[in-house]
């Protein structure tokens, strides 16, 4: 049973160093986790996880906004990290800083090229054609093999040639 009264005899001088040691161990563990998050190997792929995000000139809200992205799922290549910020490159090659909390490690890709891209039932040029997608269409990226990637757009899945996607392969 706990009492709300303070009783100094409950704590000896020997218990205070124990609490201090526990506090230091917890702080070291949190510090190690923070360092580990900052040393994630770059580059890596990420995607915009919110409906609106700002790309800034530097890694802080004190820096001016260069671009405003208003499209969830846009793939980005993370080139560097700085505390809660990521220096990214978008599909057009534009680079700037985004808050890490606005990004996800879920892989998305964007269709590139001049003409529509064929979405096929299986990974191969002779597989059944399901539909075509325009350049600029964003979809969730699945497994890639043999030059073809699984690609899902609004619940419709198929395979597209990897060369028609930005966001696949090694960053």
- Taking 50 as the threshold, does the pLDDT of residue 6 lie above it? no
The reported pLDDT for the residue numbered 40 is: 67
- Per-residue pLDDT, 10: 42
**Among 39, 78, 66, which residue's Cα sits nearest to residue 167?**
78
Strands (E), 49-164: 53-56, 65-69, 75-82, 85-89, 95-99, 103-104, 108-111, 117-120, 129-133, 138-145, 148-153, 156-161
Please give the Cα distance from 3 to 45 (Å, whole number).
Answer: 54
> Are 44-106 and 109-166 equal in CATH topology?
yes
The least confident of 1-15, 56-70, 72-86, 118-132 is 1-15
What residue spans define the domains of the chain?
A: 8-38, 44-106, 109-166
Q: What is the pLDDT of residues 141-162, one digit of tens each?
A: 999 999 999 999 999 999 999 9
CA angle centred on 160, ends 156 and 164, rounded to 5°: 125
Q: How many residues does the chain have?
A: 171
Spatial distance between the Cα atoms of 65 and 78, rounded to a whole number of angstroms: 18
**CATH topology (fold) of 44-106:** SH3 type barrels. (2.30.30)
Q: Which CATH class is domain 109-166?
A: mainly beta
Residue 20 has pLDDT above 70, yes or no: no
pLDDT at 3 over 70: no
């Amino acid at each position: 049973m706990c009492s709300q009264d303070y009783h100094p005899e409950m704590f000896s001088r020997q218990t205070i160093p124990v609490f201090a040691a526990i506090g230091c161990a917890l702080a070291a563990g949190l510090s190690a986790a923070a360092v580990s998050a900052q040393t994630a190997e770059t580059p890596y792929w990420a995607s915009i996880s919110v409906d609106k995000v700002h790309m800034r000139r530097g890694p802080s809200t004190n820096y001016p906004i260069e671009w405003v992205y208003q499209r969830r799922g846009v793939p980005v290549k993370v080139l560097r990290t700085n505390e809660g910020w990521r220096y990214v490159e978008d599909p057009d090659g534009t680079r700037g800083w985004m808050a890490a909390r606005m990004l996800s490690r879920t892989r998305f890709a964007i269709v590139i090229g001049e003409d529509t891209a064929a979405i096929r039932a299986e990974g191969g040029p002779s597989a059944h054609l399901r539909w075509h997608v325009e350049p600029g269409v964003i979809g969730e990226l699945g497994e890639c093999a043999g030059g073809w990637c699984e690609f899902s757009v609004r619940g419709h899945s198929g395979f597209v040639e990897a060369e028609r996607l930005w966001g696949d392969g090694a960053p």
